[in-house]
Amino acid sequence: MLKRYFVAVFLFISAASLAQEGTTSPYSFYGIGTLKFKGTAENRTMGGIGVYSDSIHLNLQNPAGVAELGLVAYALGASHKYVDQSTTDENQQASTTSLDYIAMGIPMGKFGASFGLIPYTAVGYQLESENPPSVTQYTGEGGLNKAFFALAYKLLPGLSVGVEANYNFGNIENIATTFQEEVQFGSREVNRSDLLGFSYTFGAQYRRMVSQKLEMQSSLSYTPETDFQAENSRELATVRLNPSGTLSAIDVRDIPVADTDFTFPSQLTVGLGIGQPKKWFVGAEYTDQKTSNFTNRTFNIENVQFNDASKYRIGGFFIPNYNALGSYLKRVNYRAGFRFEETGLSINGEDINEFGISFGVGLPVARLFSNINIGFEYGMRGTKNAGLVEENFFNAFLSLSLNDRWFEKRYYD
């Protein structure tokens, strides 16, 4: 019964998720948008680490982790983000709600498989630049989505390897509209790119008991560099501002723009952690991404540079007593973590960095080991220097991690 409901929800949300932006950041203008976190709410509340895997939770960050599954796992997560954006002169608030992932994992003896859909990048901003006698409004929307299939195998006791195939698709639209004082008509330029391409991720995880109670877990994942295709179009139009505030196009012209290929950067992640199984775990992770070969799709921007990106993450969890039948709070999974990211984006000589502090709980529900996960994160991105925007954000996460047992032989119907 549970699997039928999940498949129906998967098909419904897969179509709906493609229309969401999931960001209000002006930094989403650059490259192919702001990179979304690839992982579950459980990972996000532990600073984003993906080094830990177990038998009941999906690991979306390392394809080798699905080999540890002992039960069929369903994962669905969403988040709400509130952002305070400020410059040296102005301040504004914005918020957005988005679907973060929907996925399913199936154990198959020494093999494990998972598939799902994840919004991978997001573009969504509204800016205004005043340069008397003209005013230009910039808006953008869209993003890149990732449909994935992962297959893992337990190669040796404690050692699992896996591979993930990703089909990346979506579109990004950037609009610039300019009006001048005492001029009836304005101009509008629309740049659109329809993106598609395949990428692959290879992973390995190793776990070993180092004492009677302590277990070490380590992980490695690598995404090779690959080329994506961008089908580009550009539209120029003369527009008129209506009394209702809407725009009417008077003269629309399509400008020929060549399709382009751009290189999607490689990424390497290594992680290491230690803990007591079903009790506690602490881990750290480092990611290096070659974003220095990122470029914009159909236009060049001055004073913008893409450098290699780095991510540092530390986090873990604590469960007082996972099988304490007489105390619900002792069975709750308490999580916390910290992250710092050098995004690789440099504007006007200023590096755009980001950090976040997160915490959350996993609340046991129903039968087997299903749970509801609730989490929060506070962080900051950007700077007010050089006329840029500083973003202070607060994220709230909500996810379902559900388990089911398939292929179970029933003696009574």
Structure tokens at 264: 């999607």
Q: How high is the pLDDT of residue 73?
A: 94
Place of tokens 């702001």: 34
In the chain, how many domains are there?
A: 1
In a domain, 12, yes or no: no
Decide: 401 and 395 in contact? Cβ < 8 Å.
no
Q: How high is the pLDDT of residue 247?
A: 85
The CATH number that applies at residue 397 is 2.40.160.60
282 against 5, higher pLDDT: 282
Q: How high is the pLDDT of residue 16?
A: 46
In a domain, 242, yes or no: no
Q: How high is the pLDDT of residue 78?
A: 94
Closest listed residue to residue 77, CA positions, set 412, 402, 406, 404: 402
Span 327-364, pLDDT tens digits? 899 999 999 999 999 999 999 999 999 999 999 999 99
In a domain, 46, yes or no: yes
**13 phi and psi, to 5 degrees?**
-75, -30
Can you name the residues that pair with 200 across neighbouring β-strands? 165
Closest listed residue to residue 200, CA positions, set 214, 176, 221: 221
Decide: 124 and 21 in contact? Cβ < 8 Å.
yes
In a domain, 289, yes or no: yes
Instruction: Give all strands (DSSP E) within 210-294, no chain letters.
Output: 215-223, 226-241, 247-255, 260-264, 267-276, 280-289
When mean pLDDT is compared over 244-248, 347-351, 365-369, the highest value belongs to: 347-351
In a domain, 275, yes or no: yes
In a domain, 410, yes or no: no
Could you tell me what percent of the chain has a pLDDT over 90? 65
Q: Is 273 helix (H, G, I), strand (E, B) or coil?
A: strand
One-letter amino acid for residue 96 of the chain: T
Span 276-292, pLDDT tens digits? 999 999 999 999 999 87
In a domain, 36, yes or no: yes
Could you tell me what percent of the chain has a pLDDT over 70? 90
In a domain, 260, yes or no: no
**67 phi and psi, to 5 degrees?**
-70, -20
Which residues, at least 6 apart from 139, have a Cβ–Cβ distance to it below 8 Å?
125, 126, 127, 174, 175, 177
**Rounded Cα gap, residues 333 and 42, in angstroms:** 10
Is 0.85 surpassed by the pTM of this model? Answer: yes
**Rounded Cα gap, residues 29 and 41, in angstroms:** 26
Find the mean pLDDT for residues 208-223: 96
Residue 408: pLDDT band with limits 50, 70, 90: low
Give the structural domain span for 355.
25-120+144-166+197-226+266-404
Decide: 30 and 301 in contact? Cβ < 8 Å.
yes
Q: How high is the pLDDT of residue 233?
A: 92
Structure tokens at 304: 């913008």
